[in-house]
Structure 1
Amino acid sequence: MALTPDGCGPVPNPNKAKGTQWESDVRNHLNAALGLVDEAGRFLDPFDPCNVRRPAQEGAADVGDVHAVPFVLECKNVRSPAVPTFLRQAEVEARNAGFPYGVAVVKVHRQSVQRGKVHFSVRTWTRVRLTLALAAPEFAKRYSFTPSLRGLDTRKWYMTTDLERFRLLLADVRTARHTA
């Protein structure tokens, strides 16, 4: 293991640091945009289950990067996204965390956090759409989803929006779940 020049600890991994920063940026953006924090970024109610959080990883089963009830967000800051792989990972981590939905949030280089891409598997997209009781065309239009239909293997198909529209969808899903 390489040590820092002062010999006090391991050399930080720059890719891990970039990923951690992206996770924090996503969390901070959603909390601010949903009105869950004050001007200094402190939770208005630290016990509110709707606060968006980065969970501590415990045990062998990964529970995802960011929890935005009822979603687990698998956040990626990579140059070449492997979206179908990220979505499978997000869905496993959502199950591990006991959440109904897992999505992947991928940073768009040289763009603001709001422009980050939020990818849904077709299965998750359909389940969320049904929760909101919307027809597919209306759901796609309201949240500006675009499809990626690659090849004949439907497991590689996904739907994409940006983080700003995901924030609107998240608020609507939370409202629908509380009124149901």
Structure 2
Amino acid sequence: MANPNKVKGTQWESDVRDHLNAALGLVDEYGKFLDPFNAYNVRRPAQEGAADVGDVHAVPFVLECKNVKRASVPTFLRQAEIEARHAGFPYGVAVVKVPRMSVRRGKVYVGIRTWTRVRLALKLGAQEFAERYGFTPSLRGLDTSRWYMATELEPFTRLLADVRAMRDAQ
């Protein structure tokens, strides 16, 4: 019998992947990729052992998906950023399931350094960026490595689309 926590985690990863693909218009009404070779298709990569590459790839983000009772956000963000480097992606974020809520309401956590890099890539001021994508801060003490921003998966999907559009325009 499979580990029930592993099963819940895998289901959350699949739910996040499926939501992003549908919201970004990358699949048909049956969930099949419109273009299986599109580099922007959101995928769950095969696990790579010691050099884990994250749970979900949504170019240019690696998503570390967590379905846990108690979130340890700074730990999840460190893991996401390491796995993004392993995968060769510039950004790593954590996506945490909110109990009894739809996938759209999942919490997306972004480390303050990653948040700033994405904001600058989009050429937006801090307040405009936070308002446009619904970010709220969590500033814990003076150690900036523990600071992060939070939003939900639905506005993160818009952010993902905007980052991709900006990259395509370059």
Normalised by the length of structure 1, the TM-score is 0.93
Q: Gaps (5+ residues) in structure 1?
A: 1-10
Q: Work out the CA distance in 1 between the residues paired with 2:27 and 2:130.
A: 29
Distance 2:148 2:49 in 1: 30
Q: 1:93 aligns with which of 73, 83, 91?
A: 83
1:46 to 2:54 alignment:
no
Task: Tell me the percent identity.
Answer: 76
Mapping of 1:54-69 within 5 angstroms? Answer: 54-69=44-59
Counterpart residue number, 1:111:
101
Amino acid at match of 1:31: N
User: Counterpart amino acid of 1:106?
Assistant: V
Deviations 1:41-72 (A, max 9, x none): 00000000000000001252000000000000
| Structure 1 position 143 matched with structure 2 position 133 | yes
Counterpart position of 1:169 = 159
For 1:177 and 1:35, the matched residues in 2 are separated by: 18
Could you tell me how far apart the structure 2 residues matched to 1:58 and 1:127 are?
Answer: 27
Distance 1:55 1:12 in 2: 20
Q: Distance in 2 between matches of 1:179 and 1:36?
A: 19
Partner SS, residue 2 of structure 2: coil
2:148 counterpart (158, 161, 171): 158
Deviations 1:94-151 (A, max 9, x none): 0000000000000000000000000000000000001100000000000010000112
**Is the radius of gyration larger for structure 1 or structure 2?**
1
Instruction: Indicate the RMSD between aligned Cα atoms, in angstroms.
Output: 0.7
Q: How many residues align?
A: 170
Query: Residue in 2 aligned with 1:120?
Result: 110
Task: Work out the CA distance in 2 between the residues paired with 1:58 and 1:108.
Answer: 27
Letter in 2 for 1:120: V
SS of residue paired to 1:63: coil
C-alpha distance in 1 between matches for 2:115 and 2:85:
16
Moved over 2 A (4+): none
The offset of 1:75, in angstroms, is 0.1
**Which ranges of structure 2 fall in alignment gaps of 5 or more residues?**
none
Which letter does structure 1 place at the counterpart of 2:40? C
| Distance verdict in 2 for CA 1:59–1:17, change over 3 Å | closer
Identify the residue that residue 23 of structure 1 maps to in structure 2. 13
